[in-house]
Amino acid sequence: MQRHGIEVIPLTGAMGAEIHGIDLAQELDAAAFGAVHQALLEYGVIFFRDQDITPAQQTAFARRWGKIHLHPHMSCIPDHPGVIAIVKKEDDTTVFGENWHTDQMFTRTPARVTLLYAKQVPPAGGDTLFANLYAAYDTLSEGMKAFAATLRTVSAYDTDKTRPAAMTPTRLDEVVSAEHPLVRIHPETGRKALYLCHSGITRHIAGMTEEESRPILTYLLAHATKPEFTCRFRWQVGSMAVWDNRRALHYPVNDYYGYRRVMHRITIQGDPTE
């Protein structure tokens, strides 16, 4: 599909599209950015290949999506506020964010958009999976839709577990939980999405215990991440992914022990979900 000279190629039937004809080292004009923005709203996550950009250029592109978020627990690369290096070393056995999640759901204003740029990748492995939360909601029974619409969830960091090395323990202890509707209405499209993370973030349903909540949340997360609702992206050096946290989950696959992976991430501030 051609839009303003930009080619949009769907990745799967569920979600995701590659964008061709864009050089992110250059400032996009209003028409080009409008086409890119529309592609994100339509496909949930968009991908750019063969980009050669600096942190400053990634930052300039990120600002087109909104105000850059400064993460309270992770340091940025020198001289580039908001750009976080996500590094998995050769001997690391875990990866950052190793589960289905949407960024910063533990805050009252979860991230709107995330931009992830590949600096160094393994020869194979290290893919990222994405899940379509519109499809997850749309395919629920009418009874479950009605039930889910009445619920709110409580999200927080699990400070009882080992913290990622990139995070600052003393500041992590300051995190407070946040409530969100289980069915979130996307502020730009008006569509409904099933909105939840893995159990380390989405801890329980408001007004219920974790034990009472777990069967419901476990079922809904398993439903949301069915293969037919997902896409999978294989990284190359110079690849950029941009995803909409308001309607997509993502999962970094940890299958490349012995290799180093370096990504530059920027997140865009969101709005309250109420």
Which of 184, 247, 261, 265 is catalytic? The answer is 265
- Closest C-alpha to 193, from 128, 102, 76, 92: 102
From the candidates 69, 101, 112, 246, give the one annotated as an active-site residue: 101
**Does 250 qualify as catalytic in the annotation?**
yes
Cα–Cα separations (whole angstroms), residue 221 to 94, 155, 158, 265, 273: 22, 14, 18, 25, 19
Is residue 103 among the annotated active site residues? Answer: yes
CA-based nearest residue to 244, from 188, 180, 183: 188
DSSP 136: H
246 counts as catalytic: no
20 among known catalytic residues: no
Maximum CA extent, the chain = 53
Q: Is 32 exposed, middle or buried (0-12, 13-18, 19+ CB in 10 A)?
A: middle
CA 204 vs CA 100, 116, 131, 192, 201: distances in Å: 16, 29, 21, 21, 9
Q: For residue 222, what are its two tokens?
A: 């398993």
Identify the residue whose tokens are 């110079």.
Answer: 238
Could you tell me if 69 and 82 are in contact, meaning their C-beta atoms sit under 8 angstroms apart?
Answer: yes
Q: Which of 112, 198, 204, 250 is catalytic?
A: 250
Measured CA to CA, the distance from residue 92 to residue 84 in angstroms comes to 18
Distance, CA of 189 to CA of 142 (rounded, Å): 21
The one catalytic residue in 69, 71, 103, 264 is 103
| Backbone φ/ψ region at 97: left (φ over 0), alpha (ψ -120 to 50), beta | left
Phi, psi of 268 (to 5 degrees): -105, 135
- Give the active site residues: 101, 103, 250, 265
